Chain A
Amino acid sequence: MFIEVSFVALNMVEIAVLLKQVPDTNAKIAILGGRVDESAVTSWVTSPYDEYALEAALQHIEAAGGSITAITLGPDRADKVLKDAAALGVTKLVRIWGDGWEDLDSNQVQFALVDAVRASGAELVYCGKQSADRNQGSTGPGVAEMLGAACVVEVSEFDASSSSYVRPASSGSEKVTVSSPAVITFSKTESDLRRPNVRGIMMSKKAQIDLVSSDVGSSQVNFNGDSSPAEKPPGKTFQGSDCIPEVVGLLRDEAKVL
């Protein structure tokens, strides 16, 4: 009995998973009064890459023992992502929010998250490589920097038994290990995301969400406004294969997709 306990204790990990609530990625994004109209969003979901981070954390805990703290920064409605995580078995839930926090800059966001990560005692932080709304990809590395932690970005595979991660490399990919504390940002992994079940959903009803705030200072970024992307020019038709160099040039310089 004693041996078993100490064995578990040696491997136990504390993982903080950062989850962001975003509009359903299938939703149309409308602009109202120069900003994205959030009130038109009917369905809010956990940012897809964050779901892979959570799945990896759950696998990690299953293999090594330990616990997960799910952390989100967002208004009231963001409780939903924590409840969804609770339905999958996460027991510690933290939401961070403060007055007038609608337009935080990258530093403020990272600062608030770092406070919560520290409070959780986690030595590993799992998050998505970027959020589906702002698409920035600054949060993972920025949080790592503030924590004095290493950061492996865009991980596509996680092996719980060896605690190794696969990340992109110039010639394919590479398997890496990292000393803790560390932040891992996930892209889509091969893992199937687990589904909740009714028992988990009932548990999540009872789960307690800690609401915290931080003194994040003031924003150094001015948000001037959002706009719809430039209308695509009407389609053009070209005759014969001679025009292909021109089309490839347009794809590169005008469409900017090559």
Chain B
Amino acid sequence: MSQTSCRLFKGEDMVYEALDFYDVDSQLSEEEIMVRDMVRDWVDAEVLPKIEHACRDGVFPDEWRVALGEMGVLGAPLDGYGCPGLSYVAYGVICRELERGDSGLRSFASVQGSLAMYPIWDFGSEEQKNKYLPKMASGDLIGCFGLTEPDYGSNPGGMITKAEDKGDHYILNGAKMWITNGTISDLAIVWAKLDGVIRGFIVETGDEGYSAPEMKGKHSLKASVTSELVFQDCKIPKDRILPGVKGLKGPFSCLNNARYGISWGALGAAQACFHSAKEYTLSRIQFDVPIASYQLIQNKLAWMLREITKGQLLALELGKKKDDGSWIPEHISLAKMNNVDIALEIARMARDMHGANGILDEYCIMRHMANLESVKTYEGTHDIHNLILGRHITGIQSFTRSE
């Protein structure tokens, strides 16, 4: 028998090769590369072998929560209070690598970091920060973010959930809908109107009058928990209000960060679909030759490459702006909208290129495709971002007819 062992060597062609046509990752720091590789290796080893199962069962595996905490990537760009203190570019890279696995996994991390940890970090009291942030960074406590309501989606300002000051406590009444992580979370950041002004409140699981039933029947983001949050005379102590912010600025600051992460994340899903489409079309023979040798297929692959490359440049440039502070919210709208849009289009195209195989859960594409439908809707729908840009260009808001 030959002496050279083969045991540690995978086949050459089965390895995930992240498409990076312009070598955008060469602009990452050494530390950012190490974080990328850490997350990528983890996704290969622990997520991809289990994701289809998780989707079939409709669960977010708890071991992923533990691992994300151990890796120390939750709340990536936040500093202090046990948080990682990475750059925004690193946060983007983490989102990209997680979403290459599954958008539900990235959603978990986005909600935890940008929507639950961030408001405490930015608007919370010193006591709140010390109490929650270290345990949220380690994954021991999970948070969710309750903004959307059954009747108020794109227009959160109209929310009806309200808080009343009862002297030594607050009473919350109302309901939130479509809340990622709701049922599995230990605390919820809930936006509600106190005397007509939107304020943030920290509601803990177990608070009187609070429940978070899971929403079932999703065809998308199946490995992510989505819930309703119900407040029926929910009583919370006075020290649970976020003192540092009033009005829509509160939830919108959180969304800016989450949307920024999504602009990277969607590229991860797109890269996974591109990779699968390339491998598949090179190996699928029809009419005697690989279908990758047909011009129609090559045109599709070239389009994917083009859009992913543009998206990567967009995301990296935006990341640098986040890090140096020169960004405006409209920059984020553009990137979220564009990158999710092309990722979804790439997933649909890849689905087509896989023929019948494309509908099977043996391939990642239909899952990514279905996931991206949610990603296109949440964190500001595609068209809402168009309206944000439209307002920026013209100075005229078109969200509503009445002003």
Contacts and interface: CB of A to CB of B under 8 A. Distances in A.
A187 interface: yes
Q: Which of B8, B10, B30 has the most CB of A within 10 A?
A: B8
B72 A198 contact: yes
Q: Which of B3, B30, B31, B34 has the most CB of A within 10 A?
A: B34
A135 B38 CA distance: 27
A83 B85 CA distance: 19
A188 interface: yes
A257 B2 contact: yes
Interface residues of A, number: 25
B9 A26 contact: yes
A201 B35 contact: yes
B84 interface: yes
Q: Which of B5, B12, B42 has the most CB of A within 10 A?
A: B5
Contact of A195 (B30, B71, B85): B71
A154 to B, nearest CB: 10
A256 interface: yes
B238 to A, nearest CB: 35
A87 B34 contact: yes
Main secondary structure, interface of A, reads loop
A196 B34 contact: yes
A28 B12 contact: yes
Given A195-B41, A197-B71, A202 B8 contact: no
Contacts of A84: 34
A139 to B, nearest CB: 15
Interface string A214-232: 0000000000000000000
A196 B10 contact: no
A48 interface: yes
A204 interface: yes
Given A49-B8, A188-B7, A26 B72 contact: no
Nearest to A27: B12
A87 B35 CA distance: 10
A236 interface: no
A81 B336 CA distance: 36
Nearest to A187: B5
Interface residues of B, number: 27
B86 interface: yes
A204 B31 CA distance: 8
Given A83-B34, A256-B2, A197 B72 contact: yes
Nearest to A84: B34
Contacts of B35: 198, 201
Nearest to A192: B45
Interface in B43-86: 70-73, 76, 84-86
Contacts of A199: 72, 84
B8 A48 contact: yes
Contacts of A198: 35, 38, 71-73, 76, 84, 86
B29 to A, nearest CB: 9
Nearest to A257: B2
A202 B12 contact: no
Contacts of B393: none
A26 B12 contact: yes
B162 to A, nearest CB: 39
A205 B30 contact: yes
Interface in A22-54: 25-28, 48-49
A132 interface: yes
Interface string A244-258: 000000000000111
A135 B70 CA distance: 35
Given A196-B38, A197-B70, A256-B2, A202 B7 contact: no
The 8 closest A-B pairs by CB, nearest first: A198-B72, A48-B8, A197-B72, A26-B15, A198-B84, A201-B34, A25-B9, A197-B71
14 contacts: A25-B8, A26-B10, A26-B11, A135-B3, A135-B4, A195-B41, A196-B71, A197-B72, A198-B71, A198-B76, A198-B86, A201-B38, A205-B30, A257-B2
Given A196-B71, A198-B86, 8 more contacts: A26-B9, A188-B8, A195-B71, A197-B38, A197-B72, A198-B38, A198-B76, A202-B84
